[in-house]
A and B are shown apart, each in its own frame.
Chain A
């Protein structure tokens, strides 16, 4: 059984594992990462740190890159 733990997306507890990136978790939950400046919904796009569409607040990092950050126990993710 792989290790799992709880992380929080906008305060809601969700189960995740250390092999899951924040961007993958948000896609799994069908949660958008952010709204564009014209108000469009945006989620992870390039999956490899180029497009910056997957930005979310991760703990104290206001512009964390979801596709480059792996889940940790009790991580707090806030969509923008």
Chain B
């Protein structure tokens, strides 16, 4: 017999694994802002990939419900506030599994706001969602294993990879190779990626210093034309149609913070994550967190954390216990990865005073130098006050000056006025489960 209900936010590997694990024992609702399940790695355009379906099918057959195209914009101890393409809804919850994943971490340099400059995972996602890049030149730059995954994928879709630049040194990466010994899956993945990228220049301790704009006479006037690269004392120019640039991942912590979940202690300049116990339980009762929200660790760790969280939320701690050891082994790898991915301090000097840091409000670096905290920059300089609500620039100011992002207020993502009205409205009156226009 099923006891209790479990609501899962995020249908990536962690959320899907949680749904599959919990569905036999509890009433499960899985929701995601994307139209289909899969998350970042199994992004399926408008449909579903096989890997996602393999986890979702058994969950669905066990009675789990799917709410696609629904974004959680706010939450309190009783209900979630959801927004879809047409309206808003309050959804009461009993037990919550937060699996909202991570976002890409971006660092600024002159020209990073030009059209044609995207995140590495960002360009990958857009190609998965229908952008044709056959025969076009792509420069892949930044840091971390995602660069390899993105480059291999883009190449498989017909792109010409002009090169991959990794800011870490060869020595740091050697540490990573050692760490991958703990995980045969990781080792297999890495060698497979390098095989797919045969012939592509892979430059360590190298980065993009600036992106250049196409001149006004060109048909792509205003878009990216080339990047300026630097490796030690060598500097050169590389023409390209697209720049895919990312510096690892940063956990999506906003919703958990809004619900009062405590942060895990983070090393300086490293993105924050949510603290959990052995069974993925956060500091708030009835809230479990799984996947990249607890720290960046890759697919296998996300799946294991999801399974443990799902079982624990459904009251099956004895079953959950079986997976703790396997998860801890993956965590070990994740920590080594984080050490290897440490960013070179030199990268802090790339943005100039005119370089925009807050893309929403066009706040340049020079203006931010006048302030001493995120709060001051926000209130006096409008930094982080725009549409993305600081999700891009707070990762940057955290890295540049170690400013603490301390303004999680609802809504956590931009919401329509009608949604906000619902948020403000009396909770009982608004607890209808219909979408309200």
The reply to whether A46 and B130 form a contact with Cβ atoms under 8 Å apart is no
The reply to whether A19 and B103 form a contact with Cβ atoms under 8 Å apart is no
The reply on A8 being an interface residue by CB < 8 A is no
The reply to whether A52 and B115 form a contact with Cβ atoms under 8 Å apart is no
The reply to whether B222 and A50 form a contact with Cβ atoms under 8 Å apart is no
The reply on B51 being an interface residue by CB < 8 A is no
CA of A68 to CA of B113 in the docked complex: distance in angstroms? 20
Q: Which residue of A lies closest to B130 (CB)?
A: A20
Contact of A50 among B126, B131, B219, B388 (CB under 8 A): B388
- Given known pairs A36-B362, A40-B362, the reply for A46 and B220 (CB within 8 Å) is no
Contact of B118 among A21, A37, A40, A47 (CB under 8 A): A47
Q: Which residue of B lies closest to A53 (CB)?
A: B359
Q: Which residue of A lies closest to B113 (CB)?
A: A40
**Chain A residues with CB under 8 A of B103:** 46, 48, 50
Q: Is the interface of B mostly helix, strand, loop or mixed?
A: loop
Q: Which residue of B lies closest to A19 (CB)?
A: B45
- Given known pairs A37-B361, A50-B103, A55-B387, the reply for A19 and B130 (CB within 8 Å) is yes
Contact of A24 among B35, B119, B129, B388 (CB under 8 A): B129
**Chain B residues with CB under 8 A of A42:** 113, 115, 359
Contact of B391 among A25, A40, A51 (CB under 8 A): A51
User: Residues of B within 8 Å of A, CB-based: how many?
Assistant: 46
- Given known pairs A37-B361, A45-B117, A47-B121, the reply for A21 and B220 (CB within 8 Å) is no
A residues 41-65 in Cβ contact with B at 8 Å:
41-53, 55, 61, 63
The reply on B125 being an interface residue by CB < 8 A is yes
- Shortest beta-carbon distance from A39 to chain B in Å: 9
- Shortest beta-carbon distance from A19 to chain B in Å: 5
The reply on B260 being an interface residue by CB < 8 A is no
Contact of A43 among B85, B116, B361, B392 (CB under 8 A): B116
The reply to whether A46 and B35 form a contact with Cβ atoms under 8 Å apart is no
The residue in B122, B222, B414 that gathers the most chain A C-beta atoms within 10 A of its C-beta is B122
The reply to whether A67 and B126 form a contact with Cβ atoms under 8 Å apart is yes
Q: Which residue of A lies closest to B122 (CB)?
A: A47
Instruction: Render A60-80 as a binary contact track against B, CB cut-off 8 A, 1 for contact.
Output: 010100011111000000000
A residues 1-37 in Cβ contact with B at 8 Å:
16-21, 23-25, 27-28, 30, 32, 36-37
B residues 388-435 in Cβ contact with A at 8 Å:
388, 391-392, 413-414
- Shortest beta-carbon distance from B143 to chain A in Å: 17
- Given known pairs A30-B223, A37-B362, the reply for A52 and B414 (CB within 8 Å) is yes
CA of A30 to CA of B362 in the docked complex: distance in angstroms? 22
The reply to whether A67 and B125 form a contact with Cβ atoms under 8 Å apart is yes
The reply on B302 being an interface residue by CB < 8 A is no
Instruction: Render B88-126 as a binary contact track against A, CB cut-off 8 A, 1 for contact.
Output: 000000000000000110100000011111110111111
The reply on B76 being an interface residue by CB < 8 A is no
Q: Which residue of A lies closest to B103 (CB)?
A: A50
CA of A25 to CA of B132 in the docked complex: distance in angstroms? 9
CA of A56 to CA of B212 in the docked complex: distance in angstroms? 25
- Shortest beta-carbon distance from B36 to chain A in Å: 10
The reply to whether B131 and A24 form a contact with Cβ atoms under 8 Å apart is yes
CA of A27 to CA of B114 in the docked complex: distance in angstroms? 12
- Shortest beta-carbon distance from B108 to chain A in Å: 12
The reply to whether A47 and B126 form a contact with Cβ atoms under 8 Å apart is yes
**Chain B residues with CB under 8 A of A51:** 359, 388, 391-392
Instruction: Render B226-254 as a binary contact track against A, CB cut-off 8 A, 1 for contact.
Output: 00000000000000000000000000000
- Given known pairs A28-B131, A42-B113, A55-B387, the reply for A48 and B362 (CB within 8 Å) is no
The reply to whether B121 and A50 form a contact with Cβ atoms under 8 Å apart is no
The reply to whether B113 and A21 form a contact with Cβ atoms under 8 Å apart is no
CA of A18 to CA of B129 in the docked complex: distance in angstroms? 10
Interface positions of A (Cβ within 8 A of B): 16-21, 23-25, 27-28, 30, 32, 36-38, 40-53, 55, 61, 63, 67-71
9 A-B residue contacts at CB 8 Å?
A21-B129, A24-B127, A36-B356, A44-B126, A46-B119, A47-B123, A49-B71, A49-B413, A50-B388
Closest 5 CB pairs of A and B: A20-B130, A47-B122, A43-B115, A47-B125, A52-B387
Interface positions of B (Cβ within 8 A of A): 33-35, 40, 45-47, 71, 85, 103-104, 106, 113-119, 121-127, 129-132, 219-220, 222-223, 356, 359-362, 386-388, 391-392, 413-414
Besides the known contacts A21-B45, A45-B117, A52-B387, 19 further A-B residue pairs in the complex with CB atoms under 8 A apart: A21-B129, A21-B130, A24-B127, A27-B131, A28-B130, A30-B220, A32-B115, A36-B113, A44-B126, A47-B118, A47-B121, A49-B413, A50-B103, A51-B359, A63-B387, A63-B414, A67-B125, A70-B35, A70-B45
